[in-house]
């Protein structure tokens, strides 16, 4: 009971820290000035209050979920100190910023205001560089000794095979959820293609394969990146395989909630369709990635004893 209360208190502190870090990062990246036009449109106090609420509520939800997942990972990690910080900076920047913004460059280049993508890359870097060390400190993993556990030793062949399989799985999930979830929204089809016509899944895939085959290779590459960014987290965990799969699923899915934040690049209807698309596909992908990469995971006797003790307390 006491451990749960301490964990909850630490999560609350992380939420506050993350909100402050986002404010700092947005100013450093120059994004704080972006909403000025919409702010000027809200001329009445009631409209301004409504506009503030439309930003505050999604921000609280997003930072709360990210903080909870971050705390869960750090609490479960057998790594400590700089090793843990470096791994989480790599993973968080990759999943929160890099993997999404390279897709924005590929598909939304004509719709992106000049300089915005660069600012988003900078903002993401500032967030992880400030937040991750503070999160490790708050969770009490900055100096405590590293727990001994069996490291996964994989051959180059097995690593390449697993990463390749996971990249193919990602491409399949990407197009299935993209079509059967997001593409069913006529506003989204109008936004991307200029028409509300709904062609069959087969017709869409044939058009992609013949007209823009680079998209398949691009998404395969993004699939490799998803697995690469998850790999340090899988390595640091000393849990049962099913628990690792759950943690990676949460790690992948949590970033989808940023789509509830005010988005200058797309209408709310389009963003919400992408939310449901990416939430379910990323949760499923994360579970698969965690399960596959943790195939050789075996919790040590010490971690098993700790888990049994925690369960009996």
Distance of CA 25 to CAs 47, 64, 220, Å? 26, 18, 31
pLDDT score at 50 = 67
Q: Is the pLDDT of residue 152 over 90?
A: no
220-269 pLDDT, tens digit per residue, is 999 999 999 999 999 999 889 999 999 999 999 999 999 988 777 788 99
What proportion of the chain, given as a percentage, has pLDDT over 70? 82
Q: By the 8 A CB rule, do 101 and 117 touch?
A: yes
pLDDT score at 311 = 41
pLDDT, mean over the chain: 86
101-131 pLDDT, tens digit per residue, is 999 899 888 788 888 889 999 999 999 999 9
155-179 pLDDT, tens digit per residue, is 556 778 899 999 999 999 999 999 9
Q: Is the pLDDT of residue 39 over 70?
A: no
Q: Give the torsion sign (CA, 266, 268, 273, 276).
A: positive
For the CA atoms of 142, 124, 249, 301, the dihedral, rounded to the nearest 10 degrees, stands at: -10
Q: Is the pLDDT of residue 68 over 80?
A: yes
- What distance in Å separates the CA atoms of residue 174 and residue 226, rounded to the nearest whole number? 12
Q: By the 8 A CB rule, do 132 and 89 touch?
A: yes
- What distance in Å separates the CA atoms of residue 280 and residue 299, rounded to the nearest whole number? 28
129-147 pLDDT, tens digit per residue, is 999 999 999 999 987 666 5
Q: Is the pLDDT of residue 153 over 70?
A: no
Q: Which two tokens stand for residue 250?
A: 């949460």
- What distance in Å separates the CA atoms of residue 188 and residue 181, rounded to the nearest whole number? 11
φ/ψ of residue 237, rounded to 5:
-80, 150
Q: Which of 196, 220, 160 is nearest to 269 (CA)?
A: 196
pLDDT score at 55 = 77
Q: Which two tokens stand for residue 114?
A: 């000049």
Q: Which residues contact 260 (CB under 8 A, 6 or more apart)?
A: 58, 61, 62, 271, 272, 275
Q: Which of 81, 193, 175 is nearest to 137 (CA)?
A: 81
What are the residue ranges of helices labelled H in 30-44?
Answer: 36-41
Q: By the 8 A CB rule, do 185 and 269 touch?
A: yes
pLDDT score at 303 = 46
φ/ψ of residue 77, rounded to 5:
-75, 140
Look up the pTM and report it. Answer: 0.86
Radius of gyration of the chain (CA): 21
pLDDT score at 113 = 83
Q: Is the pLDDT of residue 5 over 90?
A: yes
Report angle CA 48, 15, 21 to the nearest 5 degrees: 75
């Amino acid at each position: 009971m006491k451990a749960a209360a301490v964990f909850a208190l630490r999560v609350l502190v992380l939420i506050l820290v993350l909100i402050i870090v986002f404010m700092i990062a947005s100013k450093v990246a120059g994004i704080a000035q972006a909403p000025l036009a919409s702010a000027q449109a809200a001329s009445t106090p009631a409209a301004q209050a409504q506009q503030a609420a439309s930003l505050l509520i999604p921000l609280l939800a997003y930072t709360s979920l990210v903080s909870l997942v971050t705390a869960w990972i750090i609490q479960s990690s057998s790594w400590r100190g700089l090793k843990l910080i470096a791994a989480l900076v790599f993973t968080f920047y990759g999943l929160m910023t890099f993997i999404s913004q390279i897709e924005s460059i590929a598909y939304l280049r004509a719709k992106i205001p000049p300089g915005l993508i660069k600012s988003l890359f900078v903002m993401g870097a500032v967030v992880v560089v400030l937040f991750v060390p503070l999160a490790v400190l708050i969770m009490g993993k900055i100096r405590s000794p590293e727990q001994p556990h069996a490291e996964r030793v994989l051959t180059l062949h097995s690593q390449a095979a697993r990463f390749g399989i996971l990249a193919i799985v990602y491409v399949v999930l990407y197009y299935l959820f993209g079509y059967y979830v997001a593409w069913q929204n006529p506003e989204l089809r109008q936004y991307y293609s200029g028409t509300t016509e709904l062609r069959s899944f087969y017709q869409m895939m044939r058009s992609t394969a013949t007209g823009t085959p680079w998209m398949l290779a691009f998404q395969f590459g993004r699939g490799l990146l998803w697995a690469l960014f998850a790999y340090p987290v899988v390595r640091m965990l000393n849990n049962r395989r099913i628990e690792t799969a759950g943690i990676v699923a949460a790690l992948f899915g949590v970033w989808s909630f940023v789509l509830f934040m005010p988005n200058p690049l797309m209408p709310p209807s389009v963003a919400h369709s992408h939310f449901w698309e990416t939430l379910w596909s990323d949760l499923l992908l994360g579970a698969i990635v965690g399960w596959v990469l943790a195939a050789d995971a075996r919790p040590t006797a010490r971690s098993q004893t700790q888990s049994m003790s925690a369960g009996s307390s």
